[in-house]
A = this chain, B = another copy of it.
């Protein structure tokens, strides 16, 4: 069954293509757009096009940045510790770490993890660009690489792969701690996490 307007139907179809948006939600969003002021809708449409036109990847850390700001603000900042690089899977994780305000080093965004089942090999993610930042020829002075990939099979595989590449270069390769989240109750923590937390115990 279709709406009485082709344009409405087309917008529902387009909304429903977005991840996590089903047909019902797409209908509700379209009804909202119908009632919204034209200027607001044009702002959304322009923002969509802008993202495709103006967002590029930083030539150093591969994080997203605006056209004309390459290298990105994090890579050119004078207030960051340039001897540490935190390796993450996507730009979202850079934001997550930046929100903490705790980490002061640089980043490297892989844009994916190694996943043979999905046909993603080491050459499909930004590993080569990471090596270029660390190689003895580069003037980086990087001493430590912190692996902060998601604790999935693919994330672990990628961590292992990168650490094997970097260790021969004399780089200190670390990974963020696995343990109990702040505020969690021990009795509800799964066995794997509890074991890792025990292994990673530290002096108080």
Contact = CB atoms under 8 A, between A and B. Distances in A.
A49 B55 contact: no
A51 B11 contact: yes
B47 A4 contact: no
Copies of this protein chain in the complex: 2
Contact of A65 (B5, B25, B33, B54): B5
A4 B72 contact: yes
Interface residues of A, number: 58
Interface string A67-101: 00000111000000000000000111011001100
B8 A99 contact: no
A33 B19 contact: no
A109 to B, nearest CB: 10
Nearest to A54: B7
Nearest to A67: B7
Given A18-B32, A19-B32, A52-B38, A11 B47 contact: yes
Contact of A8 (B11, B32, B42, B64): B64
A117 interface: no
A1 B55 contact: no
A94 B64 contact: no
Given A17-B40, A20-B28, A33 B4 contact: no
A131 interface: no
A46 to B, nearest CB: 8
A120 interface: no
Contact of A51 (B7, B64, B65, B95): B7
Interface of A: 1, 3-8, 10-11, 13-15, 17-21, 25, 27-34, 38, 40-55, 58, 63-66, 72-74, 90-92, 94-95, 98-99
